[in-house]
Chains A and B, each alone.
Chain A
Amino acid sequence: MSKDLSYSAVMARKNEIMIKSVGIDYSEFQQGPLAFDYEGMMKKAGYPLEQVAAIQAETGVGNTPLLELKNITELVRKISPSGYGARILIKDEASNPSGSFKARRAALSIYQAQRLGYKGVICASSGNYGAAVASQAAMRNLNCIVVQEVFDSRGLGQPEIIEKGRACEAYGAEVVQLTVGPEIFYVALMLLEQTGYFNASLYTPFGISGIETLGAEIALQSRVLAGRDPDVVVVTHAGGGNVTGTARGLRKAGSARTEVVGASVDLSGLHMASDRDFNRKSFTTGHTGFGVPFATWPDRVDVPRNAARPLRYLDRYVTVTQGEVFYVTEALAQLEGMERGPAGNTSLAAAMAVAQELPLEQVVVVQETEYTGAGKHPMPQLTFARENGVVVRRGDPSENKPGAEIVIPERLAQIKARDFPLENLRRSYIRNALQACGRTTLDEREVLFLIEETSAPRAFVEQALRDGGAVLGV
């Protein structure tokens, strides 16, 4: 009997496909229509930190160097007020086998797939995660299919994504390339049904616990290199996994007081599912087009409950512009001798601004780098932007217009970390949670859940709930 493959029919089978392809029955963690046992899910379905490290060591993942950016620190001090300009360290995640921190997430997913006896894995990713899954699958002798969103309706593909597809093929994966649209998950679901492979989703507890080693390594290495715990860790924020896993790892390593700052490239005004907007952006991840919606509703993903819940962990959220990130990518290459991919340098741009606010003795850690190469590099990305009608010029980055103008700073001091109010994200999250559960009457356990989810004071959560029309304390 052939199954109905229409969009609505396949999406309606999502939960059934997920149970078979992830091996987790999420219903056991659900606590009513709104709340769920997050820590219970992470404990039961994920792995403890020591075991994660051991699994990653099997395939050469992790233990990447933490390096001091001496020239960039010196440069930032030249433009900081007297006595200010924290030391800037960078975690060189490009040293992972597939060239990015995503190898940590993939290592756990692929280990799990192998342990459960799956013959292959599937992931929907147009970025570094696809390459990481392909690389880890190669090491564990599993088949791999990577589904990518690549082209607009003219058939034009982002150079960075074309490169990622090439990398996946180099690791022996089958690459399925799609035109623009969120139906990438629909195609992935059909392939999961057809093949019976494991779903290497970015958002399972394995995918997130894989990043905890990154946070823990930063804490331990900072103590050795700088003689203190990091005061601030700047994390490029997109789908929320990087923030969540890193912050959990920092806490597990005892760096509970470290401030976790999320940083995204500002792509406000561009619609992520728009055929027209698709090739008018230069960054395919690490931007507000993911950062904001994933913070305000994490469960929009391909699994019933997302293990990445950034509002639980973000102490501050800032945005930078595409032009600023290209500028600091150039600085990293020319002053530190490290040529790395632009998207990974989003957190570097923010860190260079944040460091100016902190005293000399403090330490700011840039939490990742990623590999660079054809396609994912300032030159091809700016060439492509120009070909798609985007103006590239030097000027004041505050004149940045996502999709229309990329403004490369004229001066170092023009680089800013612009605060995105967390309160706005928290209020949106609460509104979305109310809408998703379809109720207006909440009990005490549900209020407590929302307090944990938003890491906001009770009074704030209760006010946001009342503003959303909810009745409390029933």
Chain B
Amino acid sequence: MPEAFEAGTVYTRREGRKPEHMKAKTGDWVQIASTVLRPGERAPQVPPDTQAVPLEMKLKGFAMTKASLGEEIMVRTVTGRIAKGTLVGINPGYPHGFGRPAPELLAIGTELRRILRGEEDDAR
């Protein structure tokens, strides 16, 4: 399995790899990964750092067979396409959230309200 996609898969990142989480059943909502272009096959205009790595693709669909993480599997996507790839996620979640408050932003509201209320002598 390409390590690259493993890192982006929330399931494996957040919950670890318990044995019961490593196997997909037929019909499970899964994520697969595949390589579209290998290094050397990439578009001529891409810079050297991108030329050196493959173009990889991830998509989601319903598993058409059972499989374990890292095995080849076929999926049916929501548009009805059938696609093949390495199983990298089972019922994958979303890794994004609201992050942490940025200390650099926390004072801005107070500062601006002080200017607005005329409590700041030299706003300029």
List A residues at the B interface (Cβ < 8 Å).
Answer: 6-7, 71, 74-75, 78-79, 120, 143-145, 150-151, 153-157, 159, 162-163, 166, 169, 172-183, 186-187, 194-195, 271, 273-276, 326-327, 330-331, 333-335, 374-375, 377-384, 392-394, 408, 411-413
Could you tell me which residues of chain B, from 70 to 122, have a CB within 8 Å of some CB in chain A?
77-81, 94-102, 104-105, 108-109, 112-113, 115-116
Q: Are B47 and A157 closer than 8 Å at their CB atoms?
A: no
Known: A178-B36, A392-B104. Is A275-B49 also a contact (CB below 8 A)?
yes
Q: Are A177 and B112 closer than 8 Å at their CB atoms?
A: no
Q: Are B95 and A380 closer than 8 Å at their CB atoms?
A: no
B residues contacting the other copy or chain, number (CB 8 A): 52
C-alpha spacing A295/B95, complex, angstroms: 35
Judge if B28 is at the interface, Cβ distance under 8 Å: no
Judge if B55 is at the interface, Cβ distance under 8 Å: yes
Q: Are A174 and B59 closer than 8 Å at their CB atoms?
A: yes
Q: Are A174 and B49 closer than 8 Å at their CB atoms?
A: no
Q: Are A379 and B115 closer than 8 Å at their CB atoms?
A: no
Chain A residues positioned under 8 Å from B123 (CB to CB): 78-79, 411-413
C-alpha spacing A455/B40, complex, angstroms: 41
Known: A273-B50, A392-B104. 6 other contacts (CB 8 A): A155-B5, A178-B36, A178-B55, A377-B99, A379-B105, A383-B100
Known: A187-B36, A412-B112. Is A159-B99 also a contact (CB below 8 A)?
yes
Q: Are A380 and B98 closer than 8 Å at their CB atoms?
A: yes
Chain A residues positioned under 8 Å from B60 (CB to CB): 169, 174-175
Chain B residues positioned under 8 Å from A335 (CB to CB): 109, 112-113, 116
Known: A183-B42, A273-B47. Is A375-B97 also a contact (CB below 8 A)?
yes
Q: Are A162 and B95 closer than 8 Å at their CB atoms?
A: yes
**A75, A274, A275, A382: the one within 8 Å of B102 (CB):** A382
Q: Are B96 and A380 closer than 8 Å at their CB atoms?
A: yes
Chain B residues positioned under 8 Å from A176 (CB to CB): 57-59
**A159, A173, A187, A392: the one within 8 Å of B57 (CB):** A187
Q: Are A157 and B99 closer than 8 Å at their CB atoms?
A: no
A437 to chain B, nearest CB (A): 19
Proximity string of chain B (44-69) to chain A, C-beta cutoff 8 Å, 1 when within and 0 when not = 01110110111111111100000000
List B residues at the A interface (Cβ < 8 Å).
Answer: 2-9, 36-37, 41-43, 45-47, 49-50, 52-61, 77-81, 94-102, 104-105, 108-109, 112-113, 115-116, 123-124
Q: Are A153 and B4 closer than 8 Å at their CB atoms?
A: yes
Q: Are B124 and A330 closer than 8 Å at their CB atoms?
A: no
Chain B residues positioned under 8 Å from A71 (CB to CB): 116
C-alpha spacing A144/B81, complex, angstroms: 11
Main secondary structure on A side of the interface with B: mixed
Q: Are A274 and B104 closer than 8 Å at their CB atoms?
A: no
Chain B residues positioned under 8 Å from A178 (CB to CB): 36, 55-58
Known: A78-B123, A195-B81, A335-B113. Is A163-B96 also a contact (CB below 8 A)?
yes
CB pairs A–B below 8 angstroms (6 shown): A155-B8, A174-B77, A179-B54, A187-B55, A411-B123, A411-B124
Chain A residues positioned under 8 Å from B46 (CB to CB): 181-183, 273
Q: Which residue of A lies closest to B78 (CB)?
A: A174
Chain A residues positioned under 8 Å from B96 (CB to CB): 157, 159, 162-163, 166, 374-375, 380
- Interface centre among A6, A120, A169, A375, by most chain B C-beta atoms within 10 angstroms, is A375
Q: Which residue of B lies closest to A372 (CB)?
A: B98
B114 to chain A, nearest CB (A): 11
Q: Which residue of B lies closest to A120 (CB)?
A: B79
C-alpha spacing A392/B109, complex, angstroms: 18
Chain A residues positioned under 8 Å from B109 (CB to CB): 330-331, 333-335
A392 to chain B, nearest CB (A): 6
C-alpha spacing A330/B97, complex, angstroms: 18
B19 to chain A, nearest CB (A): 23
Q: Are A7 and B37 closer than 8 Å at their CB atoms?
A: yes
**B36, B49, B101, B105: the one within 8 Å of A408 (CB):** B105
B94 to chain A, nearest CB (A): 5
**A144, A179, A375: the one within 8 Å of B56 (CB):** A179
Q: Are A180 and B97 closer than 8 Å at their CB atoms?
A: no
C-alpha spacing A180/B47, complex, angstroms: 11
Chain A residues positioned under 8 Å from B58 (CB to CB): 150-151, 176-178
Q: Are B115 and A412 closer than 8 Å at their CB atoms?
A: yes
C-alpha spacing A4/B105, complex, angstroms: 52
